[in-house]
Every structure is written in structure tokens, then in C-alpha cells.
């Protein structure tokens, strides 16, 4: 997640605030190690993030302040996350799959096909989550958690010690991918080893 892209999507023209960077890091760490165990919170957070993204895009399309769109999207999707938990799981797995495939194509084939890879990965991972729920949620939360945690750490260290770290993902894409992959692997192993076996959102 390059800094410029995050700023543009979320509407922070002067950079993302430090408190928000730390919050993203905390969410990333929780997802990385406890995404499946804390599945209720995971679903609400996933819904809130999806709502923030969708609200930002809708606000930009409607020509209103993005803050209003983001806030409304977070509230609506957070409230719907548990009643519509299957949709939340689909979105969560789809987001992880889309980012993974999109970045893979972007790094090793052509930068212009990121969104094609994202769309394909989103649909594929979302559909697989219906059949392989536990495995896909663990993999998705591990991947997303690793991305968020690594990005947050780079931002914090970049602001206080090494400014180059703020753009480490775009300057050293291969090293970034390896670091995130190793973090995700550790998170997935922890979740598979110590996480519960079943989802208890509904009566299933």
C-alpha cells in the first residue's frame, strides 16, 4: 500500500496522521495472529474497512467531503458485518486474494494490469471462501495483517529514523514482498495451530 495511494484514497492531503498509522498497525497485528480466533471483531473491522473504502469512492463520485462518505460507510458496513457475515467473509478473502494477485502481476509482469489481477484474485478468493471458510479466513487475515503491520512499522520508523522506509514497498518491491510473505506465513501457522476449529457467528 504505497503512502501516496493511501493518502489519495482516504483524502489526507497532508499525510496520514500518526495515530491512524498506529491504529492500522494494531489492527494488522491482531489480524495477523488472531484473525480467526477473534472472528466477530475481524468481521466488523473488515466491514468497516470495506465501508471506508466504498464511502470514500462514493463521496468522491458525488462531489461531497470524503470524511462524510468514509464515516457513513464505516457505520453502515460495521452494523451489517455480523448479520451479513458471509458477505463480510467474501469481501475479506476477496480483498486479500485481489491484493496478492494484483501485486504479483504488477511486480513481475506489467504495472498496468494490477486491477485486472485484483479483480480476478478478488472473485477467485471470495468464491473459495464459501467452500474453504476457515482456511481462507486464516490466510486472508494473515496476509492483510502482514501488509498492514509491515506498512505501519515502515511509516513509524520512516517518520522518526529512516525516511526511506516510508516508501520501502515501492523502492524495494521484491524485499517488501518477501518480508510480508514471511510475516503472513508466521501468522497463518500461529492461527492454524492455536485458533478454534469452527466459526460461531451464527447457529452453524
Q: Does the residue 199 lie in any domain?
A: no
Q: Does the residue 202 lie in any domain?
A: no
CA–CA dist 130, 43 (Å, integer): 15
Q: Which residues, at least 6 apart from 51, have a Cβ–Cβ distance to it below 8 Å?
A: 70, 72, 73, 74, 75, 76, 77, 78
Q: Does the residue 177 lie in any domain?
A: yes
Q: Does the residue 173 lie in any domain?
A: yes
User: Domain of 91?
Assistant: 3-194
Q: Does the residue 146 lie in any domain?
A: yes
Q: Does the residue 203 lie in any domain?
A: no
The tally of domains found in the chain comes to 1
* The pTM of the whole model exceeds 0.85: no
Write down the pLDDT at residue 182. 94
Q: What phi-psi label fits residue 63: left (phi over 0), alpha (psi between -120 and 50 degrees) or beta?
A: left
101-134 pLDDT, tens digit each:
888 887 777 767 888 888 999 899 888 887 887 8
Q: Which residues, at least 6 apart from 175, have a Cβ–Cβ distance to it below 8 Å?
A: 168
Q: Does the residue 26 lie in any domain?
A: yes
Angle at 8 between CA 5 and CA 13, to 5 degrees: 125
Model confidence at 137, pLDDT cuts 50, 70, 90, reads: confident
Angle between helices 173-194 and 133-160 (to 10 degrees): 130
Amino acid at each position: 500500500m504505497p503512502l501516496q495511494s493511501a493518502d489519495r484514497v482516504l483524502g489526507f492531503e497532508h499525510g496520514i496522521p500518526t495515530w491512524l498509522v498506529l491504529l492500522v498497525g494494531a489492527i494488522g497485528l491482531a489480524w495477523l495472529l488472531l484473525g480467526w480466533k477473534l472472528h466477530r471483531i475481524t468481521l466488523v473491522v473488515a466491514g468497516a474497512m470495506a465501508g471506508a473504502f466504498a464511502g470514500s469512492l462514493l463521496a468522491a463520485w458525488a462531489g461531497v467531503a470524503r470524511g462524510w462518505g468514509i464515516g457513513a460507510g464505516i457505520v453502515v458496513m460495521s452494523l451489517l458485518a455480523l448479520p451479513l457475515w458471509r458477505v463480510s467473509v467474501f469481501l475479506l478473502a476477496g480483498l486479500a486474494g485481489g491484493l496478492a494477485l494484483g501485486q504479483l502481476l504488477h511486480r513481475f509482469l506489467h504495472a498496468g494490469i494490477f486491477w485486472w489481477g485484483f479483480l480476478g484474485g478478488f472473485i477467485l478468493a471470495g468464491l473459495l471462501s464459501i467452500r474453504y471458510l476457515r482456511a481462507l479466513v486464516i490466510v486472508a487475515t494473515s496476509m492483510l495483517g502482514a501488509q498492514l503491520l509491515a506498512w505501519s512499522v515502515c511509516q513509524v520508523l520512516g517518520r522518526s529514523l529512516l525516511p526511506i522506509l516510508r516508501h520501502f514497498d515501492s523502492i524495494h518491491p521484491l524485499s517488501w514482498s518477501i518480508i510480508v510473505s514471511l510475516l503472513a506465513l508466521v501468522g497463518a501457522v500461529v492461527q492454524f495451530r492455536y485458533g478454534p476449529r469452527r466459526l460461531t457467528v451464527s447457529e452453524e
